[in-house]
Amino acid sequence: MMKSGLSGAFLLLLFLLCTPAESGLGEVLRKRYDYYKNNHRNWEEAQSHCRGQYNRDLAIMYSQADTEGLDIDDYFSWIGLIRDSQRHWHWSNEDESNFEPWAQDEPDEKDDCVFVTYDDISRFHATSCDQYFFFICHEPHDDHYHYKFELKSKTWWEAQTYCRDVYNDLSTFTEASDLDDVELPEDFPVWTGLHKYEGAWKWTRGLSEYRGWSDAEPGNNNDCASISSLSKKMSATDCNLRYPVLCYWDNLVLVNESKTWEEALEHCRALGNHDLVSVQPGSEHSYMMKRVIEAHTDEVWTGLRFLAGEWLWVNGADLQYTDLPACPLEQQHCGTLSKQGDVKTRNCSEKRNFLCYFY
């Protein structure tokens, strides 16, 4: 047994020392919001779309500062330009098209319906007619058209039907000045990960008490939450409606399996381009606590290790915690992060959950 233990310790030392360390590495945390304004989705489809990429889900907000930093006011809107079976462009009202300010590399031969985007309303873009966007209708007014932006989400054909029923037709533009009338900011819903689960509002991933409701919200009739593109206030919204989507990603992976420190290290590195996490005091520490609280154990393993007479992060990051024991008790040579926010030294053979990160 002694021989086996010594061999394991030697192999661990060799493993750590042979692993390239990023000397002077600072914070390892990365996070971002991804906004998708193309092909609006209902809430369930939005969740599937976000989860289709690694370690990502519908957006969670932890504070008002998160919402204030969001850039989600851009939108796509159908206009009445379409290509017919003879491959000619014309407007929904059958007028010939003499005004086509295409964006660069547009249109593609396979795309037959046209939309504009708020960040560059003066350029036309073509895409498949079965995408779901907002749309712009028109109705005659004296010698020009009066335009109406609709927050409803429809395919091009559905938008055409709606405009013809309610106004006159899907929008026609004959000159650049027409577009000035529709180049306006619009306040519309964007899907987030907040939803009602077993009678309570919860985020699809992560724990946060932030809600940020608009006045009189949340209502009792809807079970999914959207955030307003301009006011950044949240509302309870019909889950079946189609809107743009806000996803969220960070590079932390909380593993709710209980393993020894060495097993945790091996697990993280087996994921490829992952390691046990290092933590720097300040905002990174505070953010990681939001993930630690989701663990099934009171503490989680980090990449902190006492080796060759000193404390170090196994990824080579700077060590800024100064209150670690210079001579830790025997076996207490591994570091944890507790749900109370403390960095603690523990017996490496104990089993607990752990945090990996992607680099």
Task: Give the per-residue pLDDT at 5.
Answer: 40
* Bridge partner residues of 21 (DSSP): none
From 33-37, 116-120, 181-185, 317-321, the region with the lowest mean pLDDT = 181-185
* Bridge partner residues of 141 (DSSP): 144
- % residues pLDDT > 70 (the chain): 93
The Cα 14–Cα 262 span in angstroms is 13
Task: Give the per-residue pLDDT at 12.
Answer: 56
The Cα 119–Cα 90 span in angstroms is 24
Count CB atoms within 10 A of the CB of residue 40: 26
Cα-only R_g, the chain: 27
Where are the domains positioned within the chain?
31-72+187-250, 76-180, 251-358
Using the predicted structure, report yes or no on whether residue 84 has a pLDDT greater than 80: yes
At 3, the pLDDT band (50, 70, 90 cuts) reads very low
Average pLDDT over the chain, rounded to whole?
Answer: 92
- The string of pLDDT tens digits covering residues 263-315 is 999 999 999 999 999 999 999 999 999 999 999 999 999 999 999 999 999 99
What type of residue is 244? Answer: P
CA neighbours within 13 Å on the CB side: how many for 304?
Answer: 25
- The string of pLDDT tens digits covering residues 212-238 is 999 999 988 999 999 999 999 999 999
Burial class (CB in 10 A: 0-12, 13-18, 19+), 162: middle
Whether 96 and 78 have beta carbons less than 8 Å apart is answered as: no
Task: Give the per-residue pLDDT at 121.
Answer: 87
The Cα 289–Cα 23 span in angstroms is 25
The residues, ordered by sequence, that sit 6+ positions from 157 with a Cβ below 8 Å of its Cβ are 129
Instruction: Report the top-level CATH class of 251-358.
Output: alpha beta
Task: Give the per-residue pLDDT at 24.
Answer: 63
- Per CATH, domain 31-72+187-250 is 3.10.100.10: yes
Whether 119 and 106 have beta carbons less than 8 Å apart is answered as: no
Whether 133 and 78 have beta carbons less than 8 Å apart is answered as: yes
Q: Assign residue 240 a region (left: φ > 0; alpha: ψ between -120 and 50; beta: otherwise).
A: alpha
Between 11 and 60, the more confident residue is 60
Residue 76 DSSP symbol: E
Average pLDDT over residues 27-39: 96
At 142, the pLDDT band (50, 70, 90 cuts) reads confident
Fold of 76-180: Mannose-Binding Protein A; Chain A (3.10.100)
- The string of pLDDT tens digits covering residues 166-176 is 999 999 998 88
